[in-house]
Amino acid sequence: MNKAILSVVLGAALLATGCSNFKSDTESTRDLNDPSVSGRTLAEQVCAICHGVDGNSKNPVFPRLAGQQPAYLTEQLKAFRSHDRSDVLGYKYMWGIARNLTNKQIDELAQYYKGQTAIPGQAKETALVAQGDAIFHHGVEATSVPACASCHGPQGHGHDGFPRLASQHEDYILKQLSVFKHTNDRYAGMGAMMSPVAYNLSGPQARAVAAYLSAQR
Amino acid sequence: MNVLTFKKKFNLLHKVELMAVPMWRTVARKVTWQGVSIGLLTTVSAVASMDAAALPLFARQTGQNCQACHAGGKFPELTPYGRMFKLTGYTLGKRQLIPIAATLSFSSTSAPSASGAPGGAQNGGTGTQANGTPTFDKASLFAGGKLTDSIGAMAQYTFNNYSGSDDNHQAGRIYSNNADIRYAKHIINDQMDLVWGIDVNNNPGFEDVWNSSGVYGYGVVPGAVGTGSAVLPMLLSQQLGQSVVGAGAYAYWNKTLYVDLAGYRTGDGVFSFMTHNYNGQQTYIQGTNPYVRVALTHDWGASNAMIGYTYLDANVYESGAPMSGGGNYGNVGGPVDEHRDNMVDFQYQYLSDPHVVTVEMEDANEQVLYGGGGATDTSNAFQAKASYTFEAHYGTALSYFNVTNSSNNVTATNPGGTLSNGAGAFQTADLGSEGWTPEIFFMPVRNVRIGLQYTLFSRDNGTTLNASQNDTTFLYAWTAF
Residues of A in contact with B270 (CB under 8 A): 4, 7, 11
Cβ-proximal residues to B398 (8 Å cutoff; 6+ apart), any chain: B385, B386, B436, B437, B438, B439
Average pLDDT over residues B363-375: 84
Q: Measured between alpha carbons, how far is B87 from B295 in angstroms, rounded to an integer?
A: 14
Residue A12 is assigned to a structural domain of this protein? no
Residue A106 is assigned to a structural domain of this protein? yes
pLDDT tier at B300 (50, 70, 90 boundaries)? Answer: very high
Residue B117 is assigned to a structural domain of this protein? no
Q: Check if the beta carbon of residue B194 is closer than 8 Å to that of residue B253.
A: yes
User: B153 and B236 share a domain?
Assistant: yes
* Contact state of B64 with A24 under an 8 Å Cβ cutoff: no
Candidates A33, A182, A203; nearest CB to B94: A33
Residues of A in contact with B209 (CB under 8 A): none
pLDDT at B425 exceeding the cut of 70: no
CA distances in angstroms from B92 to A28, A64, A97, B62, listed in the order given: 11, 21, 10, 7
CA distances in angstroms from B60 to B212, B250, B352, B392, listed in the order given: 26, 27, 24, 19
User: B74 and B21 share a domain?
Assistant: no
Q: Measured between alpha carbons, how far is B454 from B440 in angstroms, rounded to an integer?
A: 9
Identity of residue B368:
V
Residues A120-159 have pLDDT tens digits of 988 778 999 999 999 999 999 999 999 999 999 999 999 9
**DSSP label of B323:** P
A203-214 and A126-138 helices, crossing angle to 10°: 100
Q: Which is more confidently placed, B418 or B153?
A: B153
DSSP A10-37: HHHHHHHHHHHTSS--TTT--BTT-TTS
pLDDT tier at B224 (50, 70, 90 boundaries)? Answer: confident
User: A131 and A210 share a domain?
Assistant: yes
Q: Measured between alpha carbons, how far is B436 from B438 in angstroms, rounded to an integer?
A: 7
Q: Measured between alpha carbons, how far is A24 from B340 in angstroms, rounded to an integer?
A: 43
Identity of residue B229:
S
| b/e sequence A15-42, b meaning 16+ C-beta within 10 Å | eebeeebeebbeebbbbbebeebbbebb
Mean pLDDT of chain B: 79
> Which residues of chain A from 93 to 152 reach within 8 Å of chain B, CB to CB?
93, 95-97, 99-100
Q: Check if the beta carbon of residue A156 is closer than 8 Å to that of residue A51.
A: no
pLDDT score recorded for residue B163? 66
User: A99 and A165 share a domain?
Assistant: no
pLDDT score recorded for residue A161? 94
Q: Measured between alpha carbons, how far is A123 from A107 in angstroms, rounded to an integer?
A: 33
Residue A3 is assigned to a structural domain of this protein? no
Residue A168 is assigned to a structural domain of this protein? yes
Q: CB burial class (10 A; 0-12, 13-18, 19+) of residue B1?
A: exposed
Q: Give the helix/strand (H/E) hosting B452.
A: strand B448-459
Q: Check if the beta carbon of residue B438 is closer than 8 Å to that of residue B74.
A: no
Q: Check if the beta carbon of residue B372 is closer than 8 Å to that of residue B318.
A: yes
Percent of chain A beyond pLDDT 90? 82
User: A84 and A108 share a domain?
Assistant: yes
pLDDT at B167 exceeding the cut of 60: no
* Contact state of B148 with A22 under an 8 Å Cβ cutoff: yes
Residues of B in contact with A89 (CB under 8 A): 353
DSSP three-state, residue B335: coil
Residue A192 is assigned to a structural domain of this protein? yes
pLDDT tier at A176 (50, 70, 90 boundaries)? Answer: very high
Q: Which is more confidently placed, B218 or B304?
A: B304
End-to-end Cα spacing for chain B: 35
Q: Which of A1, A3, A36 to mutate to test the interface with B (most CBs of B within 10 A)?
A: A3
User: B281 and B238 share a domain?
Assistant: yes
Q: Measured between alpha carbons, how far is B412 from B415 in angstroms, rounded to an integer?
A: 6
Residue A156 is assigned to a structural domain of this protein? yes
Residues B26-81 have pLDDT tens digits of 433 443 333 333 344 444 444 444 433 335 899 999 999 999 999 999 988 999 99
User: B21 and B147 share a domain?
Assistant: no
**DSSP label of A105:** H
* Contact state of A17 with B151 under an 8 Å Cβ cutoff: yes
User: A144 and A197 share a domain?
Assistant: yes
Candidates B68, B92, B270; nearest CB to A93: B68
Q: Which of B1, B2, B4 to mutate to test the interface with A (most CBs of A within 10 A)?
A: B4
Q: Which is more confidently placed, B265 or B14?
A: B265
Q: Measured between alpha carbons, how far is B92 from A34 in angstroms, rounded to an integer?
A: 12
What domain count does chain B have?
2
Cβ-proximal residues to B98 (8 Å cutoff; 6+ apart), any chain: none
Q: Measured between alpha carbons, how far is A155 from A169 in angstroms, rounded to an integer?
A: 16
User: A88 and A155 share a domain?
Assistant: no
Residue B15 burial (CB count, 10 A): 12
Q: Measured between alpha carbons, how far is B164 from B156 in angstroms, rounded to an integer?
A: 19
- What Rg do the C-alpha atoms of chain B give, in angstroms? 23
Q: Measured between alpha carbons, how far is B210 from B241 in angstroms, rounded to an integer?
A: 18
* Contact state of A97 with B147 under an 8 Å Cβ cutoff: no
User: B72 and B38 share a domain?
Assistant: no
Residue B111 is assigned to a structural domain of this protein? no
How far is B54 from chain A, CA to nearest CA, in Å? 14
pLDDT score recorded for residue A26? 73
Residue A96 is assigned to a structural domain of this protein? yes
Q: Check if the beta carbon of residue B243 is closer than 8 Å to that of residue B282.
A: yes
Average pLDDT over residues B249-256: 97
* Contact state of B151 with A99 under an 8 Å Cβ cutoff: no
pLDDT at B152 exceeding the cut of 50: yes
User: A139 and A95 share a domain?
Assistant: no
pLDDT score recorded for residue B337? 86
User: A201 and A137 share a domain?
Assistant: yes
Residues of A in contact with B11 (CB under 8 A): 88
Cβ-proximal residues to A135 (8 Å cutoff; 6+ apart), any chain: A145, A148, A201, A205, A208, A209, A212
User: B184 and B291 share a domain?
Assistant: yes
User: A85 and A108 share a domain?
Assistant: yes
Residues B317-352 have pLDDT tens digits of 876 554 444 444 444 557 888 999 999 999 999 999
User: B220 and B308 share a domain?
Assistant: yes
User: B408 and B340 share a domain?
Assistant: yes
How far is A13 from chain B, CA to nearest CA, in Å? 10
Cα A151 → chain centroid: 19
Residues A12-21 have pLDDT tens digits of 555 444 444 4
Residues A30-48 have pLDDT tens digits of 999 999 999 999 999 999 9
Residue A48 is assigned to a structural domain of this protein? yes
Average pLDDT over residues B359-373: 89
User: B26 and B95 share a domain?
Assistant: no
- Please choose, from the candidates B438, B341, B344, the residue with its C-alpha nearest in 3D space to the C-alpha of residue B385: B438
Q: Which domain holds residue B427?
A: 65-103+137-160+174-480
Which ranges of chain A does DSSP label H, i.e. alpha helix?
Answer: 2-20, 39-42, 48-51, 70-82, 88-89, 95-98, 103-114, 126-138, 149-152, 170-182, 194-199, 203-214
Identity of residue B292:
V
CA distances in angstroms from B335 to A75, A91, A214, B376, listed in the order given: 68, 58, 66, 14
Tell whether A192 is within 8 A of chain B (Cβ): no
DSSP three-state, residue B129: coil
- State the pTM of this model: 0.86
CATH number at residue A53: 1.10.760.10
Strand positions, DSSP E, B167-288: 169-188, 193-201, 244-253, 257-266
Of the candidates A90, A114, A138, which is a domain's last residue? A114
pLDDT tier at A9 (50, 70, 90 boundaries)? Answer: low
User: B410 and B284 share a domain?
Assistant: yes
CA distances in angstroms from B211 to A192, B173, B208, B277, B413, listed in the order given: 44, 26, 7, 21, 38
Q: Measured between alpha carbons, how far is B157 from B139 in angstroms, rounded to an integer?
A: 8
* Contact state of B352 with A53 under an 8 Å Cβ cutoff: no
- Please choose, from the candidates B64, B89, B68, the residue with its C-alpha nearest in 3D space to the C-alpha of residue B77: B68
User: A88 and A142 share a domain?
Assistant: no
Q: Which is more confidently placed, B120 or B99?
A: B99
CA distances in angstroms from A207 to A169, A172, A217, B136, listed in the order given: 11, 11, 18, 50
Count residue pairs from A and B with Cβ separation < 8 A.
144
> Which residues of chain B from 84 to 123 reach within 8 Å of chain A, CB to CB?
84, 88, 91-95
Average pLDDT over residues B219-232: 80
Of the candidates A114, A136, A152, which is a domain's last residue? A114
- Please choose, from the candidates B480, B435, B403, B390, the residue with its C-alpha nearest in 3D space to the C-alpha of residue B76: B480
User: B83 and B13 share a domain?
Assistant: no
Q: Measured between alpha carbons, how far is A165 from A213 in angstroms, rounded to an integer?
A: 6
Candidates B8, B188, B271; nearest CB to A7: B271
- Please choose, from the candidates B278, B243, B241, the residue with its C-alpha nearest in 3D space to the C-alpha of residue B162: B278
Given the DSSP bridges, would you call strands B257-266 and B244-253 parallel, antiparallel or unpaired?
antiparallel
Average pLDDT over residues A4-9: 51
pLDDT score recorded for residue A19? 45
Tell whether A71 is within 8 A of chain B (Cβ): no
Cβ-proximal residues to B314 (8 Å cutoff; 6+ apart), any chain: B204, B234, B240, B264, B285, B289, B338, B339, B341
Cβ-proximal residues to A126 (8 Å cutoff; 6+ apart), any chain: none
Q: Which domain holds residue A84?
A: 26-114
Q: Give the helix/strand (H/E) hosting B58.
A: helix B57-62
Q: Which residues pair with B368 in a beta bridge?
A: B339, B377
pLDDT score recorded for residue B370? 82
| b/e sequence B96-107, b meaning 16+ C-beta within 10 Å | eeebebbbbbbb
pLDDT tier at B181 (50, 70, 90 boundaries)? Answer: very high
What domain count does chain A have?
2
pLDDT score recorded for residue B387? 95
Q: Check if the beta carbon of residue A115 is closer than 8 Å to that of residue A108.
A: no
User: B45 and B148 share a domain?
Assistant: no
pLDDT tier at B16 (50, 70, 90 boundaries)? Answer: very low
Tell whether B301 is within 8 A of chain A (Cβ): yes
